[in-house]
Amino acid sequence: MAATTPRPRSARRRPRPVGVDTLERLKRLIGDGRYQPGSALPAERELAATLGVSRPSLREALRMLAALGAIETRHGSGTRVSATSAGVLRASFEFLLLLDRPTIDDLLDARGLIEGHLAARAAVLRDDHDLAALDDIVAVMHAHAIDSRAGKDANRRFHQAIAAAARSTVLERFMACLDDGIRACIESGAATADPATSHAAHDAIHAAIVAGDADAARAAVAEHMRLSGINAGSARTRPIGRPR
Amino acid sequence: MAATTPRPRSARRRPRPVGVDTLERLKRLIGDGRYQPGSALPAERELAATLGVSRPSLREALRMLAALGAIETRHGSGTRVSATSAGVLRASFEFLLLLDRPTIDDLLDARGLIEGHLAARAAVLRDDHDLAALDDIVAVMHAHAIDSRAGKDANRRFHQAIAAAARSTVLERFMACLDDGIRACIESGAATADPATSHAAHDAIHAAIVAGDADAARAAVAEHMRLSGINAGSARTRPIGRPR
DNA sequence: CCCGCTTTATAGTCAGACATAATAACAGAT
DNA sequence: ATCTGTTATTATGTCTGACTATAAAGCGGG
């Protein structure tokens, strides 16, 4: 019985809960490609047996992965690894907004910075495929009102296409988060989008990317953010969300 | 009992799992200030009874909140709401790196952009308190080698202090995520920090912020990133992490 | 050939019990 | 009176096992 408690106090580490430990193991399995993006995970009972944990513990791990945006679960059907990493930061960011309540201006400022950089990179790095995609989207935007269903959708895709052409997944994800937050503000009535200047601004950005002019692209985005699209009114420097 | 299944097929929405539903309810309670940051949550059994759900379901919700960085749980002690939102994006971002495997250059590029902006804002917005904090940290940095324990700690606090002075929680969080990722690269040996130029670069940034010169601050950060602190070697344009 | 039923595999949910860790209260020795 | 070791309490950690609800495939009848 001499070695019943062999671990010295200094190196003492708290044993991880099984659920958390299982999360790490699954993370690793997904990261190593054992479970490919878009593919189905084994059934809960089976996976629990494979990993040697109980189903409730496995479910805790799966729920954490779902909260992180890594998997999607459908009752009766099964669980699959998310096909893309596009949703990974979103839930966390939404929560961050809830806790920190930044002002709308802060969100717009951050977005302007990042999207300007993305546009500048896109102007340099874009290939024919990117340009073709942008052309298509701009055409759709011209064909629909900016505040229509199709117009909003094209608007979103326009910004996504720029981010994709810039070849920086990290900033692309950040941008998507900010976009979510700003969109939520607009839809909750805290700010309103002004359709008037949108077409012109988008065209300017588009033209700069086509021309391969990084500085012009950055400037066009800054202009777009500055005069607008967004009228935050009196709430401009107020924390977003409902008051506590 | 006529309204047992009143929902029409068109408005049919999938009922949320109890665990997910409970997550939303807790989010709301935290967001509304019912449970203050840093304060303890009721015990699991009690909270489960209050919310009218079983303990496993509540635990799923709590685990999701923990994965999002919103709460911290300690065996035998209890669960408390995180005192700050500093950890909220981290776990998600770590997972994003695992899935997307950006290059180190991508991380450095993003960090340079954001920190440059933060430094520029800090140069304009800083108050006496910020300047005093920066002075202290710079003094500590000069007193210790950059690769010592205390030096690394001061280095991290220096960047955090700049972010704090810039008054943009959103970008501050983004920066912290990037910092985590870059730090992980350095510690895993994929890149090495070069102590030689660090002091000079930090002093330049510090001086620009003290002088209130936004452009100089941005330029100093760019210089810091460029020549730099980081030697990524052959892995420079390789995806981070171990190969799949 | 198509529609609706049945079957089967899956996630959703709960109840209850026991194990383990952290903390506070208490009794004893110094 | 103070320090220390023990004990009691309360908290989370974990599992077993059963049952329900859903989705999708298979299958039969029209």
> Is pLDDT at A8 greater than 70 in this prediction?
no
**Overall average pLDDT of the A25-33 stretch:** 93
Cα separation, B129 vs B131, whole angstroms? 5
DSSP string across chain B: -TTSS---STT--PPPPHHHHHHHHHHHHHHTTSS-TTPBPPPHHHHHHHHT--HHHHHHHHHHHHHTTSEEEETTTEEEE-SSSTTTTHHHHHHHHHHH--BHHHHHHHHHHHHHHHHHHHHHH--HHHHHHHHHHHHHHHHS-TTSHHHHHHHHHHHHHHHHHTT-HHHHHHHHHHHHHHHHHHHTTSSEE--TTHHHHHHHHHHHHHHT-HHHHHHHHHHHHHHSSEE-GGGGGSBSSS--
Q: DSSP assignment, residue A54?
A: -
Asked if strand D contacts A6 at the CB level, meaning under 7 A, the answer is no
Asked if strand D contacts B14 at the CB level, meaning under 7 A, the answer is yes
Residue A143 Cα, gap to closest chain B Cα (Å): 30
Q: Is B113 on the interface with A (CB under 8 A)?
A: yes
Q: Which residues of A touch B114 (CB under 8 A)?
A: 113-114
Q: Is B96 on the interface with A (CB under 8 A)?
A: yes
> Is pLDDT at A134 greater than 80 in this prediction?
yes
Least confident of A4-8, A218-222, B142-146: A4-8
Q: Which residues of A touch B100 (CB under 8 A)?
A: 85, 169-170, 173
A150-165 pLDDT, tens digit per residue, is 888 898 999 999 999 9
Q: Is A180 on the interface with B (CB under 8 A)?
A: no
> In chain D, which nucleotides are within 7 Å of a protein Cβ?
10-18, 21-24
Q: Which residues of B touch A75 (CB under 8 A)?
A: 14, 17
> In chain C, which nucleotides are within 7 Å of a protein Cβ?
9-17, 20-23
Rounded mean pLDDT of chain A? 86
Q: DSSP assignment, residue A3?
A: T
Helix (H) or strand (E) holding A10: none
A59-68 pLDDT, tens digit per residue, is 999 999 999 9
Whose CB is within 7 A of strand C?
Answer: A 14-15, 41, 43-46, 55-56, 59, 73-79; B 15, 17-21, 53-57, 74-77
**Overall average pLDDT of the A10-25 stretch:** 78
For A59, the token pair is: 């479910």
Q: Is B95 on the interface with A (CB under 8 A)?
A: yes
Nearest to B32 among A33, A100, A244 (CB): A244
Print pLDDT tens along chain B (244 aa): 333 333 343 344 567 899 999 999 999 999 998 999 999 999 999 999 999 999 999 999 999 999 999 999 999 999 999 999 999 999 999 999 999 999 888 999 999 999 999 999 999 999 999 999 999 999 999 898 877 888 888 989 999 999 999 999 999 999 999 999 998 888 887 677 766 677 888 999 999 999 999 999 999 999 888 755 555 555 566 777 766 5
Q: Which residues of B touch A69 (CB under 8 A)?
A: 92, 95
